[in-house]
Every structure is written in structure tokens, then in C-alpha cells.
Chains A and B, each alone.
Chain A
């Protein structure tokens, strides 16, 4: 039976084989070929390739790039980049894009490659391609590229070459001083190549983590941590940041959540939906599970007389100047988020909460006439017995500045028994309960959960009498 099957396949495929064989002898008629953008793979070999331009970033040292005919890997010249010292009046960093605004068809290639060396060992912050000072639709970034004083070949893989039919951004980089010191690096033989050894793609969203979130209709969530990882001929894995447009996103329930090609998730209904992604047909690691609790119910509108109120965050009052709603204090803070607008209401939404500060030190606030602190909070997850929320006030003391030995702070803690899920909890706390030495120079409000409670909504933060 098998031999019969084989013969039939041979007959069926004979025509196709003849076609393949004949392909060696003459090219197909020009009639069947589609018009393509330039397929020139060269970016900088010994000079600017046809159409290539140089545009430095605003704020960068504008003359950081030059063509060097003394130091080069091969040929007659290389690209030289002079990273400024800290404090250089000419610019704080070196950075530029090198586009060909005519566009190139890079679908035949699988990587951008180049030879590079530096005047000292260093780590280049960002280097890649796809930046065109437009939509950067297919931007690719290799972060923290280690470079040494020896010429070394580097490979930045293309996450999905089939997308680059008309790419303008051929090369870009951004690099700051190393420990405050400037240095120089050189790049040569910069070109796109078909290596054939860029393999084993492993795309990821949210850096491969399965995330979940409770949210409302009207919320938008940006998908981040989008990466593509390949194994190279060297056996090394290389991971690049890849623009959302390389990915195809999918929502398991479009009545709950939808994703656009920029990786923005819109919550349109109540229920659950799981967002997943494909890159060139390969399922990305990581996902986002959305539990939409439906229509957003705003916090109760405050009714106190504005004359009796000093407001930090509320749509009902004129707020004092606030420096930030999330200080992103490194390295211990995990909390993300800040002020957002949900369905026309300004609220603060924190995720991955462990602690977070709102700061208002320009100027600090004199609360000597005030008696209470009010805040509305909402917790969007199951509340377990050990969960708590602490609210801490920080006063900068007579010197009116952080530190100096005169600061005072104090906190009030609400344990799980006083917390309910998915409903606004209105707290009115007498300022005396915070036990502060001074409250004439108030500057900070902390929310602390030590990661027991992850997602917290906050509204109507004000002091009153």
C-alpha cells in the first residue's frame, strides 16, 4: 500500500518539482512580482547607505555621532559615538535614530548585525531599530547591551521579519554616562542579515507572567513586558523588547474586554476575559485575566463646606499642589499605578501595592486648624484574615524639609474585619490618632498593605475640621 501512495504523490508533485528545478535556470517573469520597497540590507558599512539619515534625540549631545576613519573594524570608516560626561552642557546623553524615510523591505532578513567596541567596558542602555520619530510601530530594543574594548559581533534579531515590508527605522540607540563618566564606542558593518540561525522563538507578554486584575467598565489597561527571545548560532539566548504591533492579541470574551494593535485593553462589559497573544504564530508566554465587576460606582460625593476642608485629591474641592500620587520609592516599593480617570471620575488606582506615598511638599501644609483626615478606599479582591491597610501621615517638622531630625510620622491600621470588598469604605480618622509631634508641615500620605492587599482604589483625600 505504501508504494502505491508514494507513486501517486510523485505524479501529483511532478509538476511542482519541475517548477522548482527550472527556477535555477531562469527567473520568473517580472509580471508576477509585486513592487517592493528597497531590500538594501546595508545601514552603514563605510558610509551612510542610500537614503540613510541621522537625527539626534532632543536633549542628547547633538554631535555625539561622527564618522571615524581612524578606528574601524573593516573598510575605510566606522560610526563613532561619544557619550558625554555627567553635567556636559552639550547634552546629558548620546542618542539618535538613523532612518531611511523611503522605507526598506526587510522581510528577507532575520537580524540586524554589527561589530562594535568601546573605549572601556560599558553597558549601552538601549540599542535597536524601528524608531522613526513616527509611530515606532515596529520598534525593537536590546536593553543593557554589554560592550568591551575588543571588536565583537552583535546580533539583534527581528521578532517577525514578515512585518517589516516598509520599515523606516534602521537603527537607533540611547546611552548615558557610565558612573558619571563619558566614553566612546564604535559600530561598523551595520546591516540586516539572513543568518538562518535565529531560532526557537519564545515571545512573552507581561514578561511571561500570568497577570490578573479586577477592574471596571471604561478602564484601559496597557499590555507591557512584550518581548521576543531567540536562540542564536552561538547558543546564547537573546531577548529584545518588541513593539505591540508585532503581536496579535486575542480576548477570550470581546463583550468584556477588547485589545487594539497597540496593546491597549479596553474594558467594555462585566464578566471575565483572558487576553493572550501570538507572535508569528507562536503563543506568547504570559496572559492577562480580567475580572470586570461592571459599571464603576464613584465614591460618595463629599458634602463638607469647602471652607472647612484642605483637599489633597477630590473632584469636589480645589486641591492643594501635589508633587505625586506615587513616589515609586526604590528599591523596596512594588506599587504601580496612580491617578487615573474612570468614566469621567478622577480616582487613584494602585496595583501590586506594598506601600506608596502621595507627597505635597511644595509647599507643605499647616493642619493646625484641622481635626480629621477623610479618605474613601475600595478593595477589589478577596479579603483574607491577615489583610490590612495602614494609613500613615508624614510631617516634615519645623525645618519644612525631609530629614533633619524633626520629622514625625504616625499610622492608623484597619484590619481585615473592618474592610469589605468591592464597595467604597469611607474613613474619617481624628488626626490625634496618628500621634504626630507636629502637623504644621504635613507633606506625605502613605498607604501600606505589605502586599496583603494588592489593588486599591483611593478617592477624596482631604483634611477637615
Chain B
């Protein structure tokens, strides 16, 4: 079986389970003459399907709590907690909820989960199926940091943003890498915009496939960017284990503050996180 067919079958497997939302996709795939090879790694290493109600699986997920330094370095406005009001698993979904409430001196609460010290891997295919929140000031992300970050501070440790999103741009996500000499405003980034659709009304798959030679970024069945060592104006630091983060930030320099029209609470729903090699 060639790789393209494998991918197609894998997509089909997902769709058998999600038929109501995905039959359009099948129709498109089956009609399309052009099929892009999006992923090649299919050996599952770890997965969380979020099938057990309650707190997320502590063998996989830990939490960042509080406000960090300067709002986690981005002037973010929320206080992260691990309370069930902000993070819980219900009905097959990880639900991260951003609330407008005064808490420990912050005007909002939310949650940030990470696999640091629990699951770290170099290379592979990292993907999650997510429905995003909406509205000015919402900043959800599915991303990775170099596992040596405690001894090798950011940006040298490296960061791969598999998906970032601004609530005020409901049809657009960004995929980005940060490293030494190319971080923050100088990061290597590309956006992907849905045509006649948006990311807050249904689930979408966000993923990267990462090898020693490149990081490929994809959304659903569309490969929209490839970043190679030749694309970064500094050291290629994506050659060591990284851990996964999922969070929903409120405000901050990337997205701006919520305004009077931002509706709270807002939820980020994660259907699954899967890692392949």
C-alpha cells in the first residue's frame, strides 16, 4: 500500500466515526483528481482520545498555574488554573474554558496543559482535532517547546507553534517556529485561511510532521507550509525532544485585549491528541 493510500484510509477511519461533520470532506476527496500527500508517519506513539470524564489523564498532562512572568511573556491577561471550571474532560472532549471572573488579581481565568516531564519526543507527527473559540482577544494554541528549556532558555530551546489563532480572525490559523535569532516578531511563520468556513463552528485537524530535514504544517487534508533548516536565519534547534502544550490565552500582545463584544465564557474543545513516528 503506498503512502498516499494509507493517508486516505486513515482519513476515512476518522470519518467513519465523525460522519455527520465530515461527509462533505469525503465527497470532496472522492471527487478531487488531485490528492496531496500530507503525512507519512503512521505508527502511533501516544494518544489521548479524552474518553474518560473528569480531570485529564495525569500520566500525560500537567499544568502551568498562575500568570507566569509578564503574563507568560506576552502580557496575557488570564490566570491559569487546573480547576474543573477551566479544564475538564466531558463527553469525549477536553474542554478548556476561558472565563471572565476576578481571580487572584486577574480579570480572566483559563487553563494551559503541557506534557513536560511526562511525554517528550524528537521528530514525529503531532496532531490534534480541535474546535476553537471566537471573539476579540481569544488566543488558543496547540504548540511545543524544547524539553531542555529549563537549562537552555527560550528562544534557544526552540518553539514549534502547530496552531495559533486570533479570535477576531475566525477563518485563519498560523503555524510558526521560533529559535535563536528568529523568535517573536522575527519568527518563521505562515498562515492558513479556510475558504467559506471558519475554525469556531466545527472541528479541524491541526498537525505537523517533523523530521531532521523539515517541519511540515497541515490543517485537515491541506499541507500548507514546510520549514527547513535553510529557511531559518539561525541555528536549527529542532533536533531534540520537545513537549506539547495546549492552552487558551486571553489578551496579550499577539491578539490584543477582549472588548465589550467578546462573549464569555469561551471554550476550546479538543477531540484528540495523537503522536506518531
Interface on A for B, CB 8 Å cutoff? 6, 9-10, 13, 16-17, 20-21, 23-24, 194-197, 199-200, 202, 231, 233, 235, 237
Contact = CB atoms under 8 A, between A and B. Distances in A.
- The majority secondary structure among interface residues of chain B is loop
Contacts of A9: 16-17
B197 A197 contact: yes
B272 to A, nearest CB: 13
A64 to B, nearest CB: 34
Contacts of B65: none
B200 A13 contact: no
B171 A233 contact: yes
B64 interface: no
B261 interface: yes
Contact of A24 (B27, B166, B261): B27
B110 interface: no
A16 B27 CA distance: 12
Given A196-B198, A235-B169, 10 more contacts: A17-B23, A23-B27, A196-B197, A197-B196, A197-B198, A199-B170, A199-B200, A200-B200, A231-B200, A235-B167
Contacts of A24: 27, 30-31
A7 to B, nearest CB: 9
Contacts of B136: 235
Given A24-B31, A195-B196, A235 B170 contact: yes
Contacts of B30: 21, 24
A195 B261 CA distance: 22
Nearest to B15: A17
Contact of A199 (B16, B19, B134, B168): B134
B26 interface: yes
A465 B19 CA distance: 83
Contacts of B166: 235
Contacts of A17: 16, 19, 23, 26
B23 A20 contact: yes
A328 to B, nearest CB: 28
Interface in B4-44: 16-17, 19, 23, 26-27, 30-31
13 contacts: A6-B17, A9-B17, A10-B16, A17-B19, A24-B30, A200-B134, A200-B201, A202-B263, A231-B135, A235-B167, A235-B168, A235-B169, A237-B261
B20 to A, nearest CB: 10
Nearest to A10: B16
A235 B134 CA distance: 8
B91 to A, nearest CB: 15
Contact of A13 (B19, B31, B169): B19
A195 B30 CA distance: 24
A16 B19 CA distance: 10
A199 B169 contact: no
A233 B198 contact: yes
B171 A197 contact: yes
Interface string B84-101: 000000000000000000
A163 to B, nearest CB: 20
A315 B27 CA distance: 72
Interface string B244-276: 000000000000000001010000000000000
A409 to B, nearest CB: 41
Contact of B170 (A6, A21, A233): A233
A195 B136 CA distance: 21
Nearest to B136: A235
A176 to B, nearest CB: 28
Interface in B167-207: 167-171, 196-198, 200-201
Contacts of B19: 13, 16-17
Given A21-B30, A24-B31, A235-B136, A197 B170 contact: yes
Given A21-B27, A231-B134, A6 B16 contact: yes
A404 to B, nearest CB: 46
Interface string B120-155: 000000000000001110000000000000000000
B26 A199 contact: no
